[in-house]
Chain A
Amino acid sequence: MTVSRMRVLIVEDEVLVAAELAWLVEELGHEVVGQAISSDEALELAQKHKPDLALVDIHLTDGPTGVEVARRVSQDCGSMVLFMTANQKRVPDDFAGAAGLIAKPYSENGVREAVTFVQHCLEAGCPQRRPPLSLTVAPSYAERWGVGGVVKRQESPTSH
């Protein structure tokens, strides 16, 4: 299978985590076009580079602004977005236009599989296998890709 090179934006306020993720993405043969630690940086870099894929943490240096970043980047730049977060309940039901989420703490293999999965989806328009367990696919994408409803997991039953 020919693996094409994706242009990837990393949005993550923990720079060590971002650095390692960048290594991993490049190891998979992709190009990291930028690393942002705040929403402003993320939007600027996204506008400038129009990446194929944005890996977006929800909590950034300017607060839980990753959701809005995902919405804007997926809408305005046509990028595919994956959340990478330890705070799954911050992800809205519509995933803010993101294609899915990778829960932290993730494994290197989990990220490899998830990134490769969405790359195949981007290339072929549909997946060639079921999504890896490391990737929770957004309901709208699950429908589009015909991979069955991967429902966002409910966290606490407590009402607020």
Chain B
Amino acid sequence: MDQRTESQRVGDRLDAEHGTDDPFAAAIRGTRMSIVVTDARQQDEPIVFANDAFLKLTGYVRDEVLGRNCRFLQGPGTDPAQIAKIREALAAGRDVNVEMLNYHKDGTPFWNALYLSPVRDDSGEVVYHFGSQFDVTEKKRFEFELKEAHDGLERAVRERTHDLQSALDQKTVLLHEVDHRVKNNLQLISSLVQLQLRRSQEPAVREALSAVMERVGAVSTVHRRLFQSDDVARFDLADFIVDLTDDLGPIAAERNLRIDLSLEPVSVASGKAAPVALIVNELLQNALGRTFTDGGEGRIHVIVERRGDSYRIAVEDGGGEAERSRLEKAGGRYIVDLLARQLRATVDWHAGEGTRVEITLPVDGMVPA
């Protein structure tokens, strides 16, 4: 007996056992859900039952499907992994859910949400498989479109990020280049003034050029510090003063002057760094101008502290003989007053035994580091 006939026979028996008055059979035959039953005991599991919904879904007539294995629904676009998943579940006696590409009789594809479940007899042996098919082509199309849109967006974001990153990289290179040039030019200016200073024997000229050197030096120290921190927008005043006084240390030592620092960490907006640094430089240089003829030790005290909504920078020295105050001789006081106006700062000059100069800056533009 060939398989076709055997399947027909099994199908007929199922029909006979479940007549038209069997409500469950009627439901299976009439439901809009596509359903097939395959015979697990026959070679290659042929279909022994297919309802009308299955025929409508696949486009075949009943005679064309009975006795055949369900794989006739598969085609070139069917994913072998899904087929393997079915085979594995069947072999293990498990039910299985897959979504796979199947083909209508006319060759057009559709996405089939397939559910397969074993049917066992009283002894537990698998005798049939029950399969239901559901056309999910629309849902799949929607999923594909969504994924495409998503991938497109991701691609666009990736490209955009890449563009922004290259733009940022370029700007960073440019920033380093500009920083490099500013520093080299400051070096050049400083060397030029120093070379000029070496050529002059005239005390007044030497004095003036020295003052210019020191001022260029103060601005140079600002620039050296500016790009050393991660925050290019802020400038640490305490660090600057430490740098400047370290530089002046040997000169102070020569003149028997000790420099004491009482510095609260204060950061200044980068734009205000140079004027603040120039003021501090003038005050320090003035204090360094003190000479002690009696061999005693002098003391310079530099203070940076916050007082309410302002900051105070104070430089005091303990007196001693000044040849001529630098603040007068090199126009230091003029520079300090001008810069104070620019910074909206007030300057208090206290002349007693020593000199004490206090600069009070509004907190705007200066914040605790």
List residues of A whose CB falls within 8 A of some B CB.
Answer: 14, 16-17, 19-21, 23-24, 86-87, 89, 103-110, 112-113, 132-134, 153-158, 160
Contacts and interface: CB of A to CB of B under 8 A. Distances in A.
A155 B227 contact: yes
What class of interface size applies to chain B in its complex with A? 35 or more
Contact of A108 (B172, B176, B184, B194): B194
9 contacts: A23-B198, A104-B186, A104-B224, A105-B190, A113-B247, A113-B249, A153-B228, A157-B230, A158-B168
List 9 tightest A-B contacts by C-beta distance, closest first: A86-B183, A105-B220, A20-B191, A105-B186, A105-B187, A133-B246, A17-B191, A104-B187, A158-B172
A113 B188 CA distance: 20
B312 interface: no
Contacts of B157: none
B261 to A, nearest CB: 13
A113 B251 CA distance: 11
A123 B367 CA distance: 46
Given A89-B176, A133-B242, A133-B246, A107 B220 contact: yes
Contacts of A86: 179-180, 183-184, 187
Interface of B: 168-169, 172, 175-176, 179-180, 183-184, 186-188, 190-192, 194-195, 198, 213, 217, 220-221, 223-224, 227-228, 230, 242-243, 246-251
Nearest to A87: B180
A16 B247 contact: no
B188 A17 contact: yes
Contacts of A16: 188, 191-192, 195
B247 A104 contact: no
B180 A107 contact: no
Contact of B224 (A14, A103, A113, A158): A103
A20 B247 contact: no
Contact of B187 (A14, A23, A154, A158): A14
A41 to B, nearest CB: 20
Contact of B250 (A17, A23, A113, A160): A113
Looking at B187, B228, B249, the one whose CB has the most chain A CB atoms below 10 A away is: B187
Interface class of chain A by DSSP: loop
Looking at A86, A109, A156, the one whose CB has the most chain B CB atoms below 10 A away is: A86
B185 to A, nearest CB: 8
A19 B228 contact: no
Nearest to B213: A108
Nearest to B214: A107
Contacts of B169: 158, 160
A117 to B, nearest CB: 11
A71 B184 CA distance: 23
A135 to B, nearest CB: 11
A21 B198 CA distance: 12
Contacts of B217: 105, 107-108
Nearest to B169: A160
Given A14-B188, A86-B179, 6 more contacts: A17-B191, A23-B198, A89-B176, A105-B186, A105-B187, A154-B230
A19 B190 CA distance: 12
A154 B228 CA distance: 7
Nearest to A130: B246
A14 B195 contact: no
A160 to B, nearest CB: 6
Looking at A103, A104, A108, A160, the one whose CB has the most chain B CB atoms below 10 A away is: A104
A45 to B, nearest CB: 21
B187 to A, nearest CB: 4
Contact of A132 (B213, B227, B230, B246): B246
A104 B184 contact: yes
Contacts of B251: 109
Contacts of B250: 109, 112-113
Nearest to A86: B183
Contacts of A107: 190, 217, 220-221, 247
Nearest to A89: B176
Nearest to B177: A87
Given A16-B195, A17-B188, A156-B172, A105 B183 contact: yes
Nearest to A153: B228
A133 to B, nearest CB: 4
A110 B190 CA distance: 13
Given A23-B195, A158-B169, A17 B187 contact: yes
B192 to A, nearest CB: 6
A158 B167 CA distance: 12
